[in-house]
């Protein structure tokens, strides 16, 4: 695979990289098969040092930030952990999603196979707001704003609201296609050394719209 099949470079300086990750690309090595290409291994072949700050599911595409040194890694990680990073996504979901909804259902892990569920007894607090943008015959394009960062949060909340992602092999119909109709479209944070707020947007939702049915 060529580099442009893994990512597009959005911004680079001495401290950070901002990339647009392709759908279907692992961020880190697969735990069972180390031979599957991943974004970290590709970046390590280009840059002397690279640090993972946050992750996207392999099936999710869109904006990510990486650190190029330990100081940047620490300061960016603190922003993510404290909820100071602003994130927005596009999601193509099944059915007509009639009005904005804020979902506050708690989430926990189901098992060791990577699936999560709503769990009122031991689930962790999770908050996501969904805004309908465009309607199609059998689906809706949403803007999604997650206020917490639980694993599979958007996917699990959408399933609970009975509007799962159009393409989601875990929380909708089983399929061999591991790409998701979910895209990180906005990322805002403070630069780790310059202390200025940066905001990156990818307003193109054409990729996930290709799944409209």
Catalytic residue among 57, 168, 176, 203: 57
> Percent of the chain having pLDDT more than 70?
98
Place of tokens 């640090």: 51
Domains of the chain, each with CATH number or no CATH: 3-209 (3.30.2350.10)
Give, for 142, the enclosing helix (H) or strand (E).
strand 139-146
Task: Give the Cα separation of 124 and 127 in Å (integer).
Answer: 10
Predicted confidence (pLDDT) per residue in 105-150, tens digit: 999 998 766 899 999 999 999 999 999 999 999 999 999 999 999 9
Mention every residue, 6+ apart, whose C-beta is less than 8 A from residue 164.
93, 94, 155, 158, 171, 172
Q: What is the mean pLDDT of residues 19-44?
A: 88
| Chain segment 186-213, per-residue pLDDT in tens | 999 999 999 899 999 998 888 898 998 7
The mean pLDDT value for 141-160 works out to 97
168 flagged as catalytic: no
The predicted model scores a pTM of 0.93
């Amino acid at each position: 695979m060529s580099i442009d099949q893994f990512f597009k470079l959005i911004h680079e300086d001495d401290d950070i990289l901002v990339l647009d990750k392709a759908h279907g690309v692992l961020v880190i090595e697969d735990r069972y098969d180390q031979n599957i290409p991943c974004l970290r291994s590709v970046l390590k072949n280009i840059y002397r040092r690279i640090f993972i700050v946050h992750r996207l599911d392999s099936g999710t595409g869109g904006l990510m930030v990486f650190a190029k040194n330990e100081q940047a890694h620490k300061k960016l990680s603190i922003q993510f952990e404290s909820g100071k990073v602003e994130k927005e996504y596009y999601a193509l979901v099944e059915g007509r999603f009639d009005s904005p909804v804020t979902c506050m259902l708690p989430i926990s892990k189901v098992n060791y196979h990577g699936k999560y569920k709503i769990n009122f007894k031991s689930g962790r607090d999770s908050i996501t707001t969904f805004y309908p943008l465009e309607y199609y015959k059998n689906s809706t394009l949403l803007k999604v704003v997650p206020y917490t960062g639980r694993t599979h949060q958007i996917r699990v909340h959408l399933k609970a609201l009975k509007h799962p992602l159009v393409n989601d092999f875990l929380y909708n119909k089983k399929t061999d296609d591991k790409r998701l109709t979910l895209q990180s479209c906005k990322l805002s944070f403070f630069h780790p050394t310059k202390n200025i707020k940066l905001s990156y947007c990818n307003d193109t939702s054409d990729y996930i719209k290709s799944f409209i049915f």
